[in-house]
Amino acid sequence: MSQITTLERPAQEADVRAEGRAEAAAPLLALRNVEVVYDDVILVLRGLSLDVPAGSITALLGANGAGKSTTLKAISGLLRSENGEVTRGEIQFDGSRIDGVEPDLIVRRGIFQVMEGRRIVADMTPMENLRLGAFSRRDRGIADDLERVLTYFPRLKERTGAAGYLSGGEQQMLAIGRALMARPRLILMDEPSMGLSPLLVKEVFGIIRQINRDLGVTILLVEQNARAALAVADRGYIMEQGKVVLDGSVEELRSNEDVKEFYLGGAGDQRKTFKNLKSFKRRKRWI
Ligand SMILES: Nc1ncnc2c1ncn2[C@@H]1O[C@H](COP(=O)(O)OP(=O)(O)OP(=O)(O)O)[C@@H](O)[C@H]1O
Ligand SMILES: [Mg+2]
């Protein structure tokens, strides 16, 4: 539409472009200088800022203990159940502040977190788990959505026993399916690759991409597996010790020498990679 407008009224082309820039400048989710403290004393996020554009898959990468899960919990409001608190900064979702909002209200606003370690209910069936995902909804579309979700995860349909007996990959799929049942606008995913074989990682990440494209769900993807995450993401952030140290498009990150060396290096040997983080930081100070 803007193209037609531009053709008909060439004088206003600049306005149309400015409008486009304004849209790009208003991400669906924005964190601004967020500080998080646990137990009143443990400072974990130290002024973290990031943007998640609507419709994107944005990757948040970093080593153990960098604060990735803490970031997701700050967004979903689940920090408080761990005695954590956003003590500074702002979290904006779709133009409104959500830091300080109760977790169930955040779900109702359209953000759903898929926790690290999946956290499905082991003694309920997969179907019961999926229905749980719709707890915040009161509409009549739940049955249809259940069918739609199952088209992404047909295997879950055949599993009628307790979800605790599902394989790791199936549990991950169930956790993602349960998130979809909430009809979220933004899914926060915490290490979906954890404990999965390379083949299953590929399958799960393929499904993540498909969900993003088909349903337009925006995804903030936390991963230690940088290779897998950058294969599906549009842009990414790398964090260390509670702060963002690098960000860019996936192409920029993949071609960055430090990222190549420390995050994509070798055959994905994370241990070797993280041992080198000290020199990563030292070198970065020079850039
Ligand atoms: N509930 C808590 N109480 C106190 N400290 C915590 C709590 N949760 C996390 N931390 C601390 O905050 C820091 C960041 O933890 P976080 O779980 O956010 O890291 P992460 O990047 O997700 O790491 P990983 O890749 O190992 O999952 C760690 O030093 C951790 O010990
Ligand atoms: Mg974590």
Q: How far is CA 76 from CA 93, 105, 168, 257, in A?
A: 11, 9, 24, 33
Nearest CA to ligand 1 atom 25: 64
Task: Give the per-residue pLDDT at 277.
Answer: 54
Residue with the smallest CA separation from ligand 1 atom 12 is: 44
**pLDDT value for 97:** 97
What is the number of other CB atoms lying within 10 angstroms of the CB of residue 104?
11
Q: Is 65 in the pocket of ligand 1 (CB under 6 A)?
A: yes
Domains of the chain listed by start with CATH number: 26-255 (3.40.50.300)
The pTM (predicted TM-score) of the whole model is 0.85
- Residue 47: exposure state from Cβ atoms within 10 A (0-12, 13-18, ≥19): middle
For residue 66 and ligand 1, the question of a CB distance below 6 A is answered with: yes
Query: If you compute the radius of gyration of the chain from its CA atoms, what whole number of angstroms results?
Result: 20
Rounded to the nearest angstrom, the distance between the alpha carbon of 142 and the centre of ligand 2 is 31
Parts of the chain with a pLDDT under 70? 1-25, 265-287
Which pLDDT score, from 0 to 100, does residue 135 have? 85
Q: Quick one: pLDDT at residue 271? A: 46
Which pLDDT belongs to residue 11? 43
pLDDT for the residue 25: 58
Mean residue pLDDT across the chain: 85
Please list, in sequence order, all residues whose beta carbon lies within 8 angstroms of the beta carbon of residue 65, skipping any fewer than 6 positions away. Answer: none
User: How far does residue 117's CA lie from ligand 2's centre (Å)?
Assistant: 9
Q: Which of 29, 24, 52 is nearest to 237 (CA)?
A: 52
* C-alpha 51 to ligand 1 mean position (Å): 21
